[in-house]
Amino acid sequence: MLRTIAVCFVAFGPLGWAADLPGNQSGSNPLPDTKTAQYEKSLTRARVAFLKGSYEEADKIYQQVIKQQQAAGAQSVLLARSTYELGATRKMEGRCDEAATLIQHGLAMLAVSPDPAPSEMANVWEALGAARSCDYAYTQAEHAYQKALEIERRSPKPRKRTIFEIQASLATVYQDEGKFKEALATYEAAQALEGDPEVDPLLRALMAGTYGPLLRSQGREAEAADAIEKGLAIVRSTQDPDGMTTAILLNAEALIQVDRKAYPEAAQSLSEALDRSSRGTASLRPGDRAQLLQNYAYCLRKLGDKKQARAIESQAGQLTAGLRTNVSQDSLVDVSQLASKH
């Protein structure tokens, strides 16, 4: 049978930290103004690269600016931001465990800085939730998202867009944990904000890609098909640069098509999903891409193409085998050094 694929809503995406960071705060152990200006300029370059989807470039810039601040003995808000933003970048590169570690260290530094802005704290907790979900640590992801939601709701000016993002992400985690009652309730809470102009259409589409399969699993197929169709209409009328939203929606569409025994249509949907996810600026988690491949192989077998199905299953197996071994060792950031200071 076909299976759904998970998704972590992308904290620090095009609508995240770049728009929401407060004005410069040097925090404890402030650096000379010239140094601060230099680091801020480097951070701006890294953020521009991130928003363009040039994650490798952003990663290198973040590493450089962190090393420079460490060498200068800095313990400032700028170092905290550099650290958690590098973590967000690592998450987009699929290096989820490293991402969570870096974001946690950045969060610890930010928490002890003078008067951290609630909006920034909520952003970083949300990013930690995304990294933990990406690493399949759902209990920790649930805690992080709940904390982010609590902070955002208590902030002087709660952002509806951010509340929507967090609720949709939290609902996905509940879904992955098998807490379907909580997932439905949280999705429905997010739906109440869908019409708000602050909520980006692609976020609504992304939520449809996870909410639809949940409705299907609860026997509400007509509602599921409607939600998925609306999500696909959004991505086909707007730009989906990372391809992830489109891939998730097409996989959800294939689930409905298989239920209806429309195997040729399901195979076409999954083929397109694999193509879009491989051409975008961000990658699905290896386990999720493996699931897409397995779903595609299932449909090929139903169509009698066993040879192609075996080849696709082999690709999926290679991805699954590498889930815990594909950890890059080229990080220039001394995480143990950060941990010892904070």
- Per the CB < 8 A criterion, the answer to whether 100 and 135 are in contact is yes
330: Cβ contacts below 8 Å, ≥ 6 apart: none
Give a yes or no: residue 288 inside a domain. Answer: yes
Sign of the alpha-carbon torsion through 23, 27, 30, 36: negative
Query: What is the per-residue pLDDT for 34?
Result: 75
Give a yes or no: residue 307 inside a domain. Answer: yes
Query: What is the per-residue pLDDT for 29?
Result: 47
Give a yes or no: residue 60 inside a domain. Answer: no
Give a yes or no: residue 159 inside a domain. Answer: no
User: Which one, of 95, 163, 49, lies nearest residue 329 by Cα?
Assistant: 95
Query: What is the per-residue pLDDT for 11?
Result: 43
- The two three-digit tokens of residue 41, written as one number: 């300029």
Encoded amino acid at 175, one letter? Q
Query: What is the per-residue pLDDT for 115?
Result: 83
Count of other CB atoms within 10 angstroms of residue 34: 8
219: Cβ contacts below 8 Å, ≥ 6 apart: none
User: What is the total count of domains within the chain?
Assistant: 1
Encoded amino acid at 94, one letter? G
Q: Which long-range contacts (CB under 8 A, 24 or more apart) does 233-240 make?
A: 234/201, 234/202, 234/204, 234/205, 234/208, 235/202, 235/205, 238/201, 238/202, 238/205, 240/202, 240/205, 240/276, 240/280
Query: What is the per-residue pLDDT for 296?
Result: 94
Q: Which regions of the chain are under pLDDT 70?
A: 1-33, 74-75, 280-283, 322-342
What is the residue-wise DSSP string for 40-63?
Answer: HHHHHHHHHHHHTT-HHHHHHHHH
The domain of 283 spans 200-322
Residue with tokens 């200071």: 341
Query: What is the per-residue pLDDT for 16?
Result: 47
Query: What is the per-residue pLDDT for 36?
Result: 79
- Per the CB < 8 A criterion, the answer to whether 205 and 228 are in contact is no
User: Which one, of 262, 191, 278, lies nearest residue 230 by Cα?
Assistant: 191
pTM of the full predicted structure?
0.81
Tell me the H-state helices in 5-95: 17-20, 33-51, 55-71, 77-92
Give me the CATH number covering residue 300. Answer: 1.25.40.10
Give a yes or no: residue 219 inside a domain. Answer: yes
- Per the CB < 8 A criterion, the answer to whether 59 and 93 are in contact is yes
